[in-house]
Structure 1
Amino acid sequence: MKLILKQTLRLTTLALALTACQPDAPNPTPVSASATSAAESTSSLPIVKVSSDLDYQPYIFMDGSNNPVGIEVDILNAIGKKIGVQFTFHAYAWDDIFNQLPERDIMVVASGFSKEDAELDKVSLSESYHHTPDCIATLPNTPPQQWAKGKVTVIPEDDLMEDLTDSFSVKPENFVRESSTYLGLTSLVKKQSQAFVSDCTAIRYYAHSDTLKQYAFHIQELPDSNHPDSANLVFGVRKGNDEFLGKINAALAELKKSGELEQIKRKWRQY
């Protein structure tokens, strides 16, 4: 869409402001030092190492003080209290989080993933801790039923482009690629696309943040994205550790029954 100069200047100013407000993200490449809680040095509990990219809000990421936080961190810490271990969190690139688990002494993998994402030759999967299909975000002035007609922003790691082309006739040349949920939503504000498709929980988390809630995004579930293999999020436990996996599943069941799991998830909703 062509814009007059005044609109262009205003949009450029907005883009700069949004970029300045973007939350700090950790470097997803492997790091030599582990990201752990301050309590590690004084804890007498057995240490269990968790591999993650630590860069997926609100599931698992680094806060401003360089501490791991998020839904998965809180759930694993709650599980740790029940089974008598302390989880520590170690950052690797997404493409590397399932690799060299024995060599790195990694027992658990956590990064907001489903069965479809996991490398099943390397990990066994826990019971699901959260259900989250994919969603379509648009601005209020975009007719929801027309979202697939124009530019559509995606995160390549979500592996949605083929499905969106086959099932919703999104043209390959109409995809706009961004590296995060935040940038996906700001692409709508900057009028780089008219729809953004990604994980529902992550979209709602950012859409209701102080930075973006003023835009009142319309969010609808992507049809046919509710398949358990892609919508049920899980933890991975290194192959050959069925007893430990059983302990995690038993603790998860207790968290569900007591309502603590729902309380943790509610804490991170922002809406």
Structure 2
Amino acid sequence: MKIQHKMTWWLGALSALALTACQPESQNAQSQASESAQKVYRVTSELTKFPVVMHDGQGGVSGFEAELLQEIAKKQGFQIEYNIDNWAGLLKKITSGETDILLGSVTITDERRQSMDFTESVLPYQTGLMVQPAFLDAQKFSDLRGKRVNLRKNTVYEKLVPLFSTDNGKNMVYPDNVWGQVKSLLDGESDAMVGASITLEYYKNQHPEKKFHIIYEPDAKISHYGWAVKKGNTELLAKLNQGLAQAKSDGTYDALYNKYWPNSARPQ
């Protein structure tokens, strides 16, 4: 009887050990299955648009909008994969269905709403003018009329060209991207740069030695960047808006904002 009792005890112990050993593998398998079952959304952005999205060329992505979307993806239970295009290509990809989300300083406008849907505001901003220290006395945009003003074509800022342009527009400078705008100012090839407050404030802080001055029109309205999705994709739009609301309520949004714009008031 004692031998039988010992055998029973050892068999029970071995079974328990085997069960315990299998549990981590089982849990790991379940975790991997859950991860692989997550929806993967295609995100398209420009290569670099400081400080909202920056690709490092090795698969890493940083920046306010990119990191905010990554946090939302974790909480909403989906994955994202990036592809890169130029500005004109971004807008075409969302309307054709070649991508799911447009990210990176995409202004919400009534015109764009005709062909794509937008989330709630991701970033509020004002249109500003960053100028060289030689124009420190300038108080309004029209004070820079006839000066070498740089801005990007096919953006919401192009409508300001008549305000600055003289001599058939020979004074206007049109870089291909935001960094090109900044470099033009840094190198003294232009006198002023038109852009969003969040971009201008970021680069002003990055280059205090240049003593750039930023002008805002006193009656300038607040505009908003949002994430664009294909027209009618209500499921994805709901996920993104729910994630945004949660990020703003749990402190995630504010922490990221303060990371990129420390001590800067957010336009309301």
Q: Specify the TM-score bucket, using the shorter chain as the normaliser.
A: 0.7 to 0.9
- Superposition CA RMSD, Å: 2.8
Rounded to whole Å, the distance in 2 between the matches of 1:149 and 1:93 is 29
Give the Cα–Cα distance (whole angstroms) in 1 for the partners of residues 127 and 185 of structure 2.
17
Q: What residue in structure 2 maps to residue 221 of structure 1?
A: 216
SS at match of 2:238: helix
Shift of 1:128: 0.4
Aligned match of 1:141: 134
Greater Cα radius of gyration, structure 1 or 2: 2
TM-score, structure 1 as length reference: 0.71
Structure 2 contact 115–231 (Cα < 8 Å) conserved: yes
> How big is each residue's C-alpha offset from its partner over 1:239-270, in whole Å with a ceiling of 9 and x where there is no partner?
23212211211221111122211211221226
Q: Is the 8 A contact 1:205 1:270 kept in 2?
A: no
Match of 2:238 among 234, 238, 246: 246
Equivalent of 2:66 in 65, 68, 73: 73
**Count of aligned positions:** 224
Q: Name the aligned partner's letter for residue 92 of structure 1.
A: D
Determine the structure 2 residue equivalent to 1:85.
Answer: 78
Equivalent residues of 1:51, 1:109 under 8 A apart: yes
Structure 1 distance, partners of 2:54, 2:165, is: 31
Alpha carbons 1:54, 1:68 under 8 Å: kept: no
Tell me the amino acid that sits aligned with residue 201 of structure 2. R
In the alignment, the residues of structure 2 paired with residue 220 and residue 270 of structure 1 have an alpha-carbon distance, to the nearest angstrom, of: 20
1:49-60 → structure 2 map (5 Å cutoff): 49-60=42-53
Distance 1:218 1:73, change over 3 A: same
**Cα deviation, residue 126, structure 1:** 0.5
* Structure with greater proportional helix content: 2
Q: Percent identity?
A: 22
Provide, for residues 4-45 of structure 1, a one-character-per-residue CA deviation record: whole Å limited to 9, x for no partner: xxxxxxxxxxxxxxxxxxxxxxxxxxxxxxxxxxxx9x9433
Pair 1:96-2:89 in alignment: yes
CA drift of 1:98 comes to 3.3
Q: Which moved more, 1:122-131 or 1:136-145?
A: 136-145
Query: Which residue of 252, 257, 268 maps to 2:260?
Result: 268
Q: Does residue 150 of structure 1 match 2:137? A: no
With the length of structure 2 as denominator, give the TM-score of the two structures: 0.72
SS of structure 2 residue aligned to 1:78: helix
User: Taking structure 1 as reference, are residues 247 and 182 closer, same or farther at Cα in structure 2, changes over 3 Å only?
Assistant: closer
Tell me by how many angstroms 1:48 deviates. 1.4
Q: 1:191 and 1:240, CA in 2 relative to 1: closer, same or farther beyond 3 A?
A: closer
Listed as ranges, the matches of 1:1-271 within 5 Å are 43-44=35-36, 45-63=38-56, 65-101=58-94, 106-116=99-109, 119-142=112-135, 143-145=137-139, 146-165=143-162, 168=163, 170-171=165-166, 172-209=169-206, 212-227=207-222, 231-269=223-261
